[in-house]
Structure 1
């Protein structure tokens, strides 16, 4: 059986590369991103992370060994202790008000991406769940290291970059990639292809998550 991570990246390469070239990421790199857009992104991402964590919990529930349950459980803990704390600090320091939070509605793709993960969590096995989660880990790590080479003159953006380019996050990503390869190793060709498709869908949603945030999309239809 081929290596899952290598195959999944190859199948998603065009979408993967598009994430680095998105105007949101490029504006982060040079520090020109409008702070209003970043605030909106932070609120959307805090919403997304609830589903990201829920999918970990469902994978842990379905784990066939205590070691696997611990691995997914640790992912859940890392999500809420580290990433939600980061977003909590942004909410405070960017002066995002309770009124802003009360008025929040998830963007179309934030909503779809969250449901993509939750549906996998409810209906699929550990391998499929992790295939939907892995692009968030892996892509954010690579974008974090990419942005660390640029260092915009903005303390908020550098705080975000520091999190996703950190050694602890890279180690977490490495472990998840190794686990994904292990869980995919005994899959049939048809099952393996389904995992690749789930991974590619998440890479697409990662791109569209930037897109919704950058263009501040809501549920209106343009005529």
Structure 2
């Protein structure tokens, strides 16, 4: 039986990196409650920066989408990304004694800058399929991580809340919709565009690992 595009992408471009994501001490610390609060605060601040540009990338996907249904779906997801940044993150920041204004004023750090620059360059410069490929791992990896961690949750209420958001069925259903779209796009791709799709998915999946690792290390600009 012929593989769907998402089956192909998972086996070749996502699974090897995802296995290392699950083993990362940042996620282990989330579930056993030992993750230092400063590492989580670093993640939340950088994720606030990331989500603003991710929303822009999703809006470009909406602009490039060939059908009305896809336009609406990606536009809604862009709004949802901004809502997450303004709502959920504001709540987490309050728990750390920080304000949204302070987070917005914090520097965009190297991994965040590299990831969002790659995203925006790809969605603006590539085809619709390439744009979807670039934004896909943020949906897919978070859904898989949320699903995996939900059963274990965390003894820390703050970390348990984060896990619950991404393990929740409402988020999982959004991701299934994007995966179904990816498979439909896969039926129309030529060999060269298919290779580019694989490259984008592999690259942004690696950036997902790097994003958690940057928070774990307390990354800053070296100079």
| TM-score with structure 1 setting the length | 0.93
SS at match of 1:78: helix
2: CA distance, partners of 1:80 / 1:6: 30
2: CA distance, partners of 1:164 / 1:84: 16
CA offsets per residue over residues 158-186 of structure 1, 9 Å max, x none? Answer: 11011000010000000010011112220
Matches within 5 A, 1:19-34: 19-34=21-36
Matches within 5 A, 1:132-171: 132-171=134-173
Q: Is the 8 A contact 1:126 1:183 kept in 2?
A: no
Q: Is the 8 A contact 2:49 2:104 kept in 1?
A: no
- Tell me which residue corresponds to 1:9: 10
- Tell me which residue corresponds to 1:78: 80
Moved over 6 A (4+): none
Give structure 1 stretches of 5+ with no counterpart. none
Change (3 A) 1:102 1:50: closer
Deviation at 1:97, TM superposition (A): 4.0
Matches within 5 A, 1:194-209: 194-209=196-211
CA offsets per residue over residues 88-132 of structure 1, 9 Å max, x none? Answer: 211223211468436511221111111111111211122111111
1:41 corresponds, among 40, 43, 55, to 43
Matches within 5 A, 1:79-118: 79-82=81-84, 84-97=86-99, 100-101=102-103, 104-118=106-120
1: CA distance, partners of 2:77 / 2:105: 30
Change (3 A) 1:102 1:117: closer
Q: Is the 8 A contact 2:137 2:205 kept in 1?
A: yes
Change (3 A) 1:98 1:187: closer
Deviation at 1:65, TM superposition (A): 2.1
| TM-score with structure 2 setting the length | 0.93
Deviation at 1:142, TM superposition (A): 1.1
Q: How many pairs are equivalent? A: 221
- Tell me which residue corresponds to 2:59: 57
Deviation at 1:77, TM superposition (A): 2.0
- Tell me which residue corresponds to 2:213: 211
